[in-house]
A and B are shown apart, each in its own frame.
Chain A
Amino acid sequence: MEAEIASPEEAVPEAAVEAQKEPETFYRHRRSTRLWHWLNALTVFVMLMSGLMIFNAHPRLYWGRYGANYEKPWLEIGSDSRSGFLKLGSARIPTTGVLGRWRDGEGNVKNYAFPGWATIPSQYSLADARRWHLAFAWLLVLPGLFYWLWSFANRHVQRDLAPSRSELAPSHIWADIKDHARLRYPTGDAARNYNVLQKLAYVGVLFVLLPAMVLTGLAMSPAMDSAWPWLLDLFGGRQSARSLHFVAAALILGFIVIHLVQVVLAGPINEVRSMITGWYRLPREKEK
Chain B
Amino acid sequence: MIRLSRRRLIASLGAGAGGLLVSGCDRVGRSPAFQSLLTGAEDLTMKAQRLVSSRNALAPEYGEADMSPVFRTNGNTMPASLDYQAHLGSGFRNWRLVVDGLVERPLSLSLDHIRRLPARTQITRHDCVEGWSAIGKWTGVPLKLLLGGAGLKPQARYIVFHCADDFGGTPYYESIDLVDALHPQTILAWAMNGAPLSVGHGAPLRARIERQLGYKHAKYVMRIEAVDSLARIGRGKGGFWEDVAGYEWYAGI
Residue of B72, B128, B211 ringed by the most chain A CB atoms within 10 A: B211
A59 to B211, CA, bound (A): 24
Contact in complex: B60, A232 (CB < 8 Å): yes
Interchain CB contact (< 8 A) of A41 among B17, B54, B125: B17
Tell whether A38 pairs with B213 under 8 Å between CB atoms, given A68-B132, A134-B42, A223-B253. Answer: no
Least Cβ–Cβ distance between A157 and chain B, in angstroms: 26
Verify if A115 is at the interface (C-beta below 8 Å from B).
Answer: no
A132 to B24, CA, bound (A): 14
- Of the listed stretches A82-90, A119-127, A146-154, A253-261, chain B binds A119-127
Interchain CB contact (< 8 A) of B125 among A65, A228, A242: A65
Tell whether A220 pairs with B253 under 8 Å between CB atoms, given A70-B72, A131-B246, A226-B211. Answer: yes
Which of chain B's residues have a CB closer than 8 A to the CB of A127? 241, 245-248
Contact in complex: B29, A120 (CB < 8 Å): yes
Which of chain A's residues have a CB closer than 8 A to the CB of B241? 127
Least Cβ–Cβ distance between B12 and chain A, in angstroms: 12
Least Cβ–Cβ distance between B25 and chain A, in angstroms: 5
Verify if A180 is at the interface (C-beta below 8 Å from B).
Answer: no
Least Cβ–Cβ distance between A49 and chain B, in angstroms: 8
Verify if A229 is at the interface (C-beta below 8 Å from B).
Answer: yes
Verify if A203 is at the interface (C-beta below 8 Å from B).
Answer: no
Interchain CB contact (< 8 A) of A70 among B60, B69, B212: B69
Which of chain A's residues have a CB closer than 8 A to the CB of B57? 226-227
A86 to B128, CA, bound (A): 23
Within A94-148, the residues touching B (CB, 8 Å) are: 120-123, 125-128, 130-132, 134-135, 138
Within B1-56, the residues touching A (CB, 8 Å) are: 6-7, 10, 13-14, 17, 20-21, 25-26, 29, 37-42, 44-45, 49, 52-54
Contact in complex: B6, A225 (CB < 8 Å): no
Contact in complex: B6, A54 (CB < 8 Å): no
A120 to B24, CA, bound (A): 10
Tell whether A134 pairs with B41 under 8 Å between CB atoms, given A68-B134, A226-B210. Answer: yes
Contact in complex: A242, B253 (CB < 8 Å): no
A41 to B100, CA, bound (A): 52
Contacts A/B (CB < 8 Å), 6 sampled: A49-B21, A70-B72, A122-B25, A138-B41, A220-B253, A223-B253
Which of chain B's residues have a CB closer than 8 A to the CB of A41? 17
Verify if A250 is at the interface (C-beta below 8 Å from B).
Answer: no
Q: Contacts A130-B247, A222-B59 given; 5 further ones with Cβ under 8 A?
A: A45-B21, A65-B62, A120-B29, A127-B248, A218-B253
| Count of chain A residues with a beta carbon within 8 Å of a chain B beta carbon | 49
Verify if A57 is at the interface (C-beta below 8 Å from B).
Answer: yes
Residue of B37, B60, B129, B247 ringed by the most chain A CB atoms within 10 A: B60
Contact in complex: A120, B25 (CB < 8 Å): yes
Verify if B228 is at the interface (C-beta below 8 Å from A).
Answer: no
A222 to B44, CA, bound (A): 17
Interface string of B132-150 (1 = CB under 8 A from A): 1111000000000000000
Interchain CB contact (< 8 A) of B21 among A42, A123, A238: A42
Verify if B252 is at the interface (C-beta below 8 Å from A).
Answer: yes
A242 to B133, CA, bound (A): 10
Least Cβ–Cβ distance between A233 and chain B, in angstroms: 10
Least Cβ–Cβ distance between B185 and chain A, in angstroms: 9
A218 to B48, CA, bound (A): 12
A222 to B133, CA, bound (A): 11
Verify if A32 is at the interface (C-beta below 8 Å from B).
Answer: no
5 pairs of A and B residues whose beta carbons are closest in the complex: A223-B252, A227-B53, A135-B41, A221-B253, A58-B131
Contact in complex: A66, B49 (CB < 8 Å): no
Least Cβ–Cβ distance between B21 and chain A, in angstroms: 5
Verify if A46 is at the interface (C-beta below 8 Å from B).
Answer: yes
Contact in complex: A223, B13 (CB < 8 Å): no
Which of chain A's residues have a CB closer than 8 A to the CB of B17? 38, 41-42
Verify if A55 is at the interface (C-beta below 8 Å from B).
Answer: yes
Which of chain A's residues have a CB closer than 8 A to the CB of B38? 131-132, 135
Verify if A224 is at the interface (C-beta below 8 Å from B).
Answer: yes
Contact in complex: B129, A126 (CB < 8 Å): yes
A112 to B241, CA, bound (A): 21
